[in-house]
Amino acid sequence: MMLRGVILCLLIALCLLVALAAGEQWINPFDAGGQDAVILWDLRLPRLLIAFAVGGLLALAGAWFQVLLGNPLAEPYVLGVAGSASVGAVTGLMFVPESAWVMSVGAFIGAWIGITVVMIFARLGPGRMLLAGVVLAAFWAALLALLLALLPEQGLYRAFSWMMGDLSHSDIPVPFLLAAWGVAVLCGMMLSRSLDLLLLGERHAEALGVEVKQLRQRLLLLASVVTAIAVTAAGTIGFVGLVVPHLMRMLFGSLHKAVLPASAIGGGLLLMLADTAARTVIAPSELPVGVLTAIIGVPVFLFLLVRRT
């Protein structure tokens, strides 16, 4: 465990350096001056930090949703939350086309509504709940298609770039995002023992002293706020929340004392690397990072599904 922790720390440092250096032009972070320094510290670093915080938040939310629903294949995006957030964002864009801020608020409200609706169906039990999530995702997609059809042409580009995940800027300030990451990790650690007990099922957890109803409410609130912040900051980026906690469980075991911080860091690294690839592969143009995470995430999801059965 200790060795794996050291390896993870070295990996973070390496990823940070590579992500800083790579781009349309390769810049040595230890020897950058003039315009290179501006590119490095004013453009790339904030973007990296956004990617790190958003990736970590998404992975944490994924880990929480999985315990909340008793299903390791649950994730806000699989449950239709990306769809509801997009509907919220595009609705905002429709009414106040010139304001990025209104779009973000719309996304936040949309994400919140999506999660609340999913949780209403959570009472049906994990299996049916996932099914409800799939149907809800289809509903939000239909609603989104309707809104996009009605959206004026100049709004379409912005809507699409947001829907595919956009880390180039964030309407939420970077220090706030990093603070949210830290607070989320801390909250998760405080709940880690109760979360572990919940892995045994609600009855066992209650019998072992967990106030399950209260814990579920807290978790839901945490997962919703964290998802909403991530979606508001960077648009819809799927599958980080699914894949990362899974990988971390494989590496560090199932107990949350290890899984949560590892997911927060691992999710950050994955999104940082994905974003570096997205802005490097076809430079000077950029690939949407949400598209990349989905291209990686969908096969991994299917692999996990097959492996589980």
Partner 1 sequence: MNPLMQISQLSLQRGSKQILNDVSFAIRPGEITVILGTNGAGKSSLLLALAGLIPAGGTLLLHDTPVNSFSRVELASQIAWQGELPPTEFGLTVHQRLQLADQHGDIESAAERMDIVPLLNRVLGELSSGERQRVELAALILRDAPIWLLDEPTTHLDLKHQTRCLNMMKEQAANGRAIVTVLHDLQQAAAIARQVALLDGSGGAEIGTADEMLTIEKLSQLFDTPLIKQGKVWAPDYGEVNYESTR
Q: How far is the CB of 22 from partner 1 (least distance, A)?
A: 35
Q: How far is the CB of 247 from partner 1 (least distance, A)?
A: 12
Q: Looking at residues 90 to 109 of the shown chain, list those that interact with partner 1 (rule: CB under 8 A).
A: none
Of 282 and 308, CB closest to partner 1: 308
Q: How far is the CB of 241 from partner 1 (least distance, A)?
A: 15
Q: Can residue 209 be called a binding residue for partner 1 (CB under 8 A)?
A: yes
Q: Can residue 254 be called a binding residue for partner 1 (CB under 8 A)?
A: yes
Binding residue (CB under 8 A) for partner 1 from 4, 128, 169, 204? 204
Whether 236 and 28 have beta carbons less than 8 Å apart is answered as no
d(CA 229, CA 57): 8
Of 182 and 253, CB closest to partner 1: 253
Stretch that binds partner 1, among 7-15, 196-204, 226-234, 283-291 (CB under 8 A): 196-204
Q: Can residue 197 be called a binding residue for partner 1 (CB under 8 A)?
A: yes
d(CA 240, CA 238): 6
Q: Looking at residues 48 to 87 of the shown chain, list those that interact with partner 1 (rule: CB under 8 A).
A: 66-67, 70-72
d(CA 108, CA 225): 9
CA dihedral sign, ordered 124, 138, 278, 171:
negative
Q: How far is the CB of 203 from partner 1 (least distance, A)?
A: 6
Stretch that binds partner 1, among 109-117, 144-152, 220-228, 246-254 (CB under 8 A): 246-254
Q: How far is the CB of 260 from partner 1 (least distance, A)?
A: 13
Of 199 and 298, CB closest to partner 1: 199
Task: Give the binding-site size for partner 1 (rule: CB under 8 A).
Answer: 24
Question: Would you tell me how many other CB atoms lie within 10 Å of the CB of residue 98?
Answer: 9
User: What is the total residue count of the chain?
Assistant: 309
Q: Can residue 123 be called a binding residue for partner 1 (CB under 8 A)?
A: no
Q: Is the peptide bond before 284 cis (omega within 30 degrees of 0)?
A: yes
Q: Can residue 249 be called a binding residue for partner 1 (CB under 8 A)?
A: yes
At residue 15's C-alpha, the angle toward residues 250 and 255, to 5°, is: 25
Binding residue (CB under 8 A) for partner 1 from 207, 221, 302, 305? 207
- List CB contacts of 30: < 8 A, sequence separation 6 or more: none
Q: How far is the CB of 97 from partner 1 (least distance, A)?
A: 45
Applying CB under 8 A, the residues found at the interface with partner 1 are: 66-67, 70-72, 196-197, 199-201, 203-204, 206-211, 249-250, 253-255, 308
